[in-house]
Structure 1
Amino acid sequence: MRFLVRDRLLGLGDDHWIEDDQGTKVYLVDGKAMRVRDTFELKDTRGRVLIDIHQKMFTLRDTMVIERDGEPLATIRRKRLSLLRNHYRVALVDGTELDVSGKILDREFAVEYDGELLAVVSRRWLHVRETYGVDVVREDADPALLIAVGVCVIHLAEKEREEG
């Protein structure tokens, strides 16, 4: 399943649609304006909130939190002991860990679980400016979660670049 995601989702304060590769609207991104921290909601086509993403405040390292139904689902931060700046760790509440690595700022990276590819984020197969694709490889993977992971990792990498 491929999805088209507009770049720079967080902090915009406006709404827009994520479409599948057929051009069908699949998820609505509801950007929350006038908030202290970056946040947005990922909704289905009926307006039901599927995923809530926000920046965790008061942490030593920048951290993003993904919630579902008001409960934490995942925490994302740059891998602590990595020589590569483009390596992030996603800790799911059930103890599962996902690895995200590649050229994050170029929108060319992969999301893996235990060495198995779950999704690829890329601009290569698109010709639309300010857009990147999320190709969910595994049939049983959660597309909303993987889109949220991609958005969070990009946001953290851009923030680190601005600060460094």
Structure 2
Amino acid sequence: MRQLYIKQKVFSLSGKFSVKDERENEVYFVEGSFMQIPKTFSIKDSSGHEVGLITKKTFSFLPTFFVEVNGREAVMINKQFSFFKARYTIDAVDMEVRGNWWDMNFGVYQNGEIIGSVSKKWFTWGDSYELQIENEEMESLLVALVVAIDCAKSDQAAAASTPGV
């Protein structure tokens, strides 16, 4: 079992941050596009190889995020139409997210077995998450999933703070 920590910088315009292990070593680097359409987040390993890419669908009635891991589409996050509370669905082959993923406390299951879990750390400057990985083969996918969910949450918060939206 491996633990990773994701801590975003609050005032980073480009969305640049790193994912660290329990010894504070940087394991992954995440960089968002700045002033680019479509908005993307690239996830690179410590060797500089891209292991994940999150893309926000440009022209869509409701926000949609595509997550690619190692060059293949792995997950899609869709906002569903609702009047009062934001609702999203996560579509992934043989995967299920159980728990309160909107508040970043959830488990990720594949074929009924847990492969990882996420818990949000409170009282930190910026968003900070602990990712516990049960199946290390799924590490890149789990990191990309957490970043994508956080991206969807940030997008929702930005839309909610915009007048007239």
- TM-score normalized with structure 1 length: 0.74
Question: C-alpha displacement at 1:3, in angstroms?
Answer: 0.8
Unpaired segments ≥5 residues, structure 1: none
Structure 2 residue aligned with 1:50: 51
Structure 1 residue aligned with 2:145: 149
**8 A Cα contact 1:86 1:104, kept in partner:** no
> 1:107 and 1:77 mapped to 2: Cα distance?
17
Q: Residue 155 of structure 2: which of 151, 154, 159 is its match? A: 159
**8 A Cα contact 1:30 1:42, kept in partner:** yes
> 1:76 and 1:21 mapped to 2: Cα distance?
29
Question: C-alpha displacement at 1:136, in angstroms?
Answer: 1.1
- TM-score normalized with structure 2 length: 0.74
**In the superposition, relative to structure 1, how do residues 100 and 145 fare at CA in structure 2: closer, same or farther (>3 Å)?**
same
**In the superposition, relative to structure 1, how do residues 157 and 100 fare at CA in structure 2: closer, same or farther (>3 Å)?**
farther
> 2:88 and 2:115 mapped to 1: Cα distance?
16
Identity value in percent = 23
**In the superposition, relative to structure 1, how do residues 60 and 105 fare at CA in structure 2: closer, same or farther (>3 Å)?**
same
Structure 2 residue aligned with 1:33: 34
> 2:99 and 2:157 mapped to 1: Cα distance?
15
In structure 2, the residue corresponding to 1:143 is in which secondary structure?
Answer: helix
Unpaired segments ≥5 residues, structure 2: 161-165
Structure 2 residue aligned with 1:6: 7
> 1:69 and 1:33 mapped to 2: Cα distance?
23
Structure 1 counterpart of 2:141, one-letter code = L
